[in-house]
Amino acid sequence: MKHFEAELPAGYREAFTIDAANKKTGVTLNVAAAVIMVAVMIPFILIIRPGNILEGFSFSRYLITFGTLLVYLVLHELVHGAAYKLLTRQKLTFGFTATVAYCGVPNIYVYRRASMIALLAPFCVFTVVFGLAVALLQNPWDKTFCAAVLAIHLGGCIGDLYDTWLYLSRFRDPATLMRDTGPKQTFYVKD
Ligand SMILES: [Zn+2]
């Protein structure tokens, strides 16, 4: 099965663009991400009940959480990159803007199936990793910090999930192509 086209085939037209570098889109995505984070954290805090927030304060815990988030941010993009590389063997691009970190494969047009795999790879991998950490750790504060990392991960996947939702709702034709430059994804459909 073909995963991509080097050139946009004849008979295709641009159907939709989402550009996270666009100020309005960037802000909207970040607000949606924050809503997801809060929505995930509230039940965790209610279930885990870590107790007095000041008692649980330890500088090393915050430092570890912050370090984990930085490493996660890089790994999230690398997992997108690994999926794109395995599926297309093409040149990747990585970077970040004020509002997003990104990985793209800017020179080609990727078919729906391969595109969805690359989009969802970090979501699947890290939801399992952080979910297991929350489930397996015993100390309520460690659990809570991992839940915070999980919540930030789920919120941070908002762009990937939005693209996936577009594939599931508007662009269900397997012939749909996507050009992903990193911050910007453009959907192309066959007329
Ligand atoms: Zn992503």
Q: What is the pLDDT of residues 28-57, one digit of tens each?
A: 999 999 999 999 999 888 887 766 555 666
Amino acid at 154: L
Domain ranges (residues) in the chain:
4-48+59-190
CA of 159 to the centre of ligand 1 (A): 7
Which percentage of the chain shows pLDDT scores above 90? 74
CA of 60 to the centre of ligand 1 (A): 28
Q: How many other CB atoms are there within 10 angstroms of residue 168's CB atom?
A: 10
Q: What is the pLDDT of residues 112-124, one digit of tens each?
A: 999 999 999 999 9
CA of 53 to the centre of ligand 1 (A): 31
CA of 68 to the centre of ligand 1 (A): 16
How far lies 67's CA from each of 11, 39, 94, in Å? 48, 23, 20
Rounded Cα distance, 167 and 174, in Å: 9
User: Minimal CA–CA distance to 109: which of 21, 159, 175?
Assistant: 175
CA of 2 to the centre of ligand 1 (A): 23
pTM for this prediction: 0.91
CA of 174 to the centre of ligand 1 (A): 21
Q: What is the DSSP letter of 129?
A: H
